[in-house]
Amino acid sequence: MARTREYNISALTKTLKIMDYLLEHPGASFPDICQGVDVPKSSLYQILQALDANRLVRRDADKRFHIGFRTFEYGQAAIRELDIRRAAHPILKQLAAATKLTVHLGILNEDLRGIFLDRIDGANFTFTHTRIGAEIRLETSATGRALVSWQSAAQRKALIHTLRFPPESPRIRSAEEYLLECEAAVRRGYAIDAQESQPNINGVGVPIYNYAGSVCGAIAVGGLYQELDLQDCREAVSLLQSAAEAISVEMGKSPD
């Protein structure tokens, strides 16, 4: 029984090596795979035959091998299982406990409006102007700016031109100023809200990435300016970035 289990594990390991090789070398020939993968030729032939029969590998008219269409079906099923709020919630709880600040999770919906998906209150202060399901103020909040700043240049430009900047805003009063703020956020590695959403409240935010390397959400921590000094927030930012990376991995992003 133990020998059978060892054989199955060995066969699986060989299969994964072949699939990984084809992922990096689409259209490889049998000799190519022999040379690139440490699998005996007889085993390699049998595994490729089985993968081809099950549509996990596709052989074209020139007898070159490609990843099969069935893997796409598996990938789509995995993507459907990804739930950013469910993946993020325990990580957000840890972040709130570590920073004692209030934590927000937000996304852009299909109408390019920011929506709060989750909120964990900090130990020292409870926000009164945000709630789960409410719209995010992309113009002023750290969560909103993180959602916008790391988009592609075209998407970011389209988003910025939908925003409305109040003339009484203490910092950002135009699309041009907002674009400069986005560029500054990317350079420093995090977006900021310097008492712009609410008096006396500061925030810092960073993006979350998905399996495709695209921004799929953002998280931010915020609190009274006495608790989150934007001139000395390295520890909070480091914890925030680590949490965002952990959530991104849960969403399918390759670990850094």
Span of 105-109, 161-165, 199-203 with lowest mean pLDDT: 161-165
Phi-psi region of 159 (alpha: psi -120 to 50; beta: other; left: phi over 0): alpha
- At residue 2, does pLDDT exceed 50? no
Give the mean pLDDT of 2-16: 67
* pLDDT tens figures, 40-57: 888 888 999 999 999 999
Output the pLDDT for position 134: 86
* pLDDT tens figures, 144-187: 999 999 999 998 988 998 888 877 777 888 899 999 999 999 99
- What is the token pair recorded at 206? 């960073």
What domains can you pick out in the chain, each with its CATH number?
Answer: 2-78 (1.10.10.10), 82-250 (3.30.450.40)
- At residue 212, does pLDDT exceed 70? yes
Axis crossing angle, helix 142-149 with helix 153-160, rounded to the nearest 10: 140
* pLDDT tens figures, 84-99: 999 999 999 999 999 9
Output the pLDDT for position 7: 46
Are 243 and 117 a contacting pair, CB within 8 Å?
Answer: no
The neighbouring-strand residues paired with 208 are 217
The rounded mean pLDDT for the chain is 88
- At residue 132, does pLDDT exceed 90? no
What is the value of pTM for the model shown? 0.71
Output the pLDDT for position 71: 84
Q: What is the DSSP letter of 119?
A: E
